Structure 1
Amino acid sequence: MKKLTVLKSLMITMVAFLGFSLTSCNDDRYEPVPVKLSDMNGNYKARLVTSQGGKYNEKIIEFAAKDSIITFKEFPVKEIVKSVVKDPVKADTAIAHLGKIEYKLDYTSKLNADQNVVELTFEPETLTLQIPVDGTIKNTVVKLVTKQKGFFVGYDWSMRFGLEAEKITVDGTDLTPYETIKYEIPISIKN
């Protein structure tokens, strides 16, 4: 009988302890870490959504942000080349010959402490490519623009922005007909 009383007492104590341990604290409020302009510097892995007309393409890319410059070591040029070179086999050959294309995107940043974000205003430069086709070089100039601001979000340390290839000029002549190529980075995580 003594063993049963001790066992019941032990069980009641364990249930009471478990009940108290599962109650939440009243101080469970999220306090965001205030973002600083220097927090943006670093390497990122991003989901890139490229669209032209009704065609969409997604891939994972990497870029670096430092001192008001975003550097793409491998800027995606597939859609640009395929807009210039209509033959798919020749376009794939040209893409292979181009290799990795580096592109630097300048920006200015402004801290928005109320929303805990850094707002980015971009100043895109033109992208110049020399696309080899049938033994000749097509000198291609791509006018890149940004239609809206980008953001570095302090909540999850991610960067979000977009670019558009608004116009392509080949050997001094505007490419027509041409559909705008959109490069959107809905989320990128700092490594």
Structure 2
Amino acid sequence: MKKLTVLKSLMIAIIAFLGFSLTSCNDDKYEPVPLKLSDVNGNYRARLVTSQGGKSNEKIIDFTAKDSIITFKDFPVKEIVTSVVKDPVKAEAAIVSLGKIEYKLNYTSKLNTDQNVVELTFEPKALTLPIPVDGTIKNTVVKLATKQKGFFVGYDWSMRFGLEAEKIMVDGVELTPYETIKYEIPISIKN
């Protein structure tokens, strides 16, 4: 009986010791690295979700942020072209003919130290595309807009934002019927 009581006391002592040794981990706190506005500058790899109506498409794209301008070297225009050119074969030929389309998105930044983020307010410009169809050029102007701010997050050094192609003008005439094209970048990692 004495051996059993000693064994129980020894087990209780070991469990108590282990409990006290693990409590020292509770004092660890995450200390965020303070952000600067210039931290936004850099090259990014992003997941782009493009949606129009009930259809959506995802792909990985690259862009650069520098001096209050985000530059897309290859802006996705497939949904824009297929909205203008209804024939899928002609639309694909027009996309190939257009090649890579560069688009520059201006922004202003504001530091939010409470949440350790840089808030981005966008000033989108219209995107002009000369879409070739049947030997002619359809001069297309896409009005892009942002509905909310974007963010550069200090926790993981990622950027998040979205754009919408609100309306499309073809040779000076508004395209109707037309469903808004949304470009969402839920996460982009700085290289």
* TM tier relative to shorter chain: 0.7 to 0.9
Partner of 1:6: none
Q: Please give the residue correspondences for 1:4-83 in structure 2 after superposition, counting only pairs within 5 Å.
A: 23=22, 24-83=24-83
Partner of 1:85: 85
Q: What is the aligned-residue identity percentage?
A: 84
Separation (CA, whole Å) in 2 of partners of 1:33 and 1:64: 22
**Normalising to structure 2: TM-score of the pair?**
0.88
**Normalising to structure 1: TM-score of the pair?**
0.88
Structure 1: any 5+ residue segments left out of the alignment?
1-14
Partner of 2:117: 117
> 1:176 is paired with a residue of what secondary structure?
coil
Structure 2 residue 180 is matched with structure 1 residue 190 = no
Q: Deviations over 1:23-65 (max 9, x none)?
A: 3435411111111101100000000000000000000000000
| AA aligned opposite 2:181 | I
> 2:114 is paired with a residue of what secondary structure?
coil
Partner of 1:142: 142
Deviation beyond 2 Å, 4+ runs, structure 1: 22-27
| AA aligned opposite 1:72 | F
Separation (CA, whole Å) in 1 of partners of 2:156 and 2:53: 32
Separation (CA, whole Å) in 2 of partners of 1:25 and 1:119: 34
| AA aligned opposite 2:66 | K
Partner of 2:3: none
| AA aligned opposite 1:50 | T
**Root mean square deviation of aligned Cα:** 1.6
Structure 2: any 5+ residue segments left out of the alignment?
1-13
Separation (CA, whole Å) in 2 of partners of 1:28 and 1:112: 24
